[in-house]
Amino acid sequence: MIAHEFEYKRPATLVEATKYLAEHPGSVRVLAGGTDLVAWLRDDAVAPDLVVDIKNVPDLHDLTVEGDSLHIGSLVTFTELIESPLVKEHIPLLAEMAETVASPGIRNRATMVGNICSAVPSCDAGPVLLVLDTTVHLTGPDGSRPVDINDWFVGLRQTARTEDEIVTHLTIKLRRHGGVYVKLMRYAGEDLAQAAVGIAVYPDHGYRVAFGAVAPTPFRSERIEMALAGEPLTEALTAEVVAMVSDEISPITDMRATAAYRTHLTEVMLKRGLEAANQRLAGDGPAYGTRLI
């Protein structure tokens, strides 16, 4: 049961949707899959006057290749990413990540865009989108604007989205890479990340390395990326960047894991992830979806 009352709108157009958002400053929430929002409403963690359900807005379900980019509408669910032949062909890293999100019953509703809008530290999509050339496309009362994913996560549960804007879609530039998402959970199946590592290695040894659940937001480590850049991966180089991990991350201790445990396993995941990402770039290595930890 949800204890407080709110108004519910299900607009049929984007213009109508943004109009509702602008009319209720400070007290409006966008509803897509609802797997976060409905739980928060029940917990009284949020108490908006208005909930705007965007599921009837056309085009937001699109999952297509347009030009040199993959276009992912804000209503595309994790299940749709897993089942999409386009994702499998172009960016299987997205499916590898999506398969680790909660359980099928959640993935059938939860959207990837919702995941980065909720922006909890352990959001699975964060580390993966950060290592790809991702742009977040927003529409508000004054029109549309793109936001680079590197400017998206601005604080704990805070993003670059203003309250009167709706994320319409993401675009991810298609570029050859070897990708990895490694996620530490207490048990296989359904769990939030205790720590997570996203890696993409591009031809000529260009690296992006991102971490999840070990800081207030998912983030990239420029220091580790710089150390790896342009160099063939050797055991010595791996050891050098693994030694940087404890300075780069700031995990907490809570009921799910201690900071020391998260740090140690992040080091292990980075080591295994770098190796697998390089193998995948070479068309070899463990198939996408293979769990590395």
Partner 1 sequence: MELTIKVNGELWDMDVAPADVLLDVLREKVGTKSPKIGCERGDCGSCTILMDGRSVRSCLVLAIEADGHEVVTVEGISYEGMNELQDLFISNNAFQCGFCAPGIVLAATELLDNNPNPSRHDVQEALAGNLCRCTGYEPIIEAVLAAGKGRSQ
In angstroms, give the least distance from the CB of 71 to partner 1: 23
Q: How many CB atoms lie within 10 A of CB 88?
A: 15
Q: Is 8 in the site for partner 1 (CB under 8 A)?
A: yes
Among 35, 84, 122, 171, indicate the residue that binds partner 1 (CB under 8 A). 35
Residue 107: DSSP 8-state: H
Cβ 251 vs Cβ 197: under 8 Å: no
Is residue 42 at the binding interface for partner 1, with CB under 8 A as the rule?
A: yes
Q: Is 53 in the site for partner 1 (CB under 8 A)?
A: yes
Q: CB-wise, 29 or 271, nearer to partner 1? A: 29
Q: What share of the chain is helix, strand, coil (3-state, %, to 5)?
A: 35, 25, 40
Q: Which of 11, 34, 73, 121 binds partner 1 (CB under 8 A)?
A: 34
> CB–CB of 82/110 below 8 Å?
no
User: Is residue 255 close enough to count as binding partner 1 by CB under 8 A?
Assistant: no
- Which of 82/201 has CB closer to partner 1? 82
Q: Is 195 in the site for partner 1 (CB under 8 A)?
A: no
Stretch near partner 1 under the rule CB under 8 A, chosen from 32-40, 65-73, 87-95, 241-249:
32-40
User: What span, in angstroms and rounded, lies between the C-alpha atoms of 221 and 130?
Assistant: 11
106 is an interface residue for partner 1 by CB under 8 A:
yes
Closest to partner 1 by CB, 52 or 119: 52
**Applying CB under 8 A, does 232 fall inside the site for partner 1?**
no
Quickly list DSSP for 160-223: S--TT-EEEEEEEE----EEEEEEE-SSSSS---SEEEEEEEETTTEEEEEEESSSSS-EE-HH
Nearer to partner 1, 33 or 73 (CB): 33
For partner 1, the closer of residues 96 and 133 by Cβ is: 96
The DSSP symbol for 149 reads G
70 three-state secondary structure = strand
| CA dist., res. 65 & res. 44, Å (int) | 40
Do 248 and 223 contact (CB within 8 A), yes or no? yes
Residue 94 or 130 having the CB closest to partner 1: 94
- The residues that touch partner 1, with contacts defined as CB under 8 A, are 1-8, 10, 31, 34-35, 38-39, 41-43, 51, 53, 55, 79, 99, 102-106, 108-109, 188-190
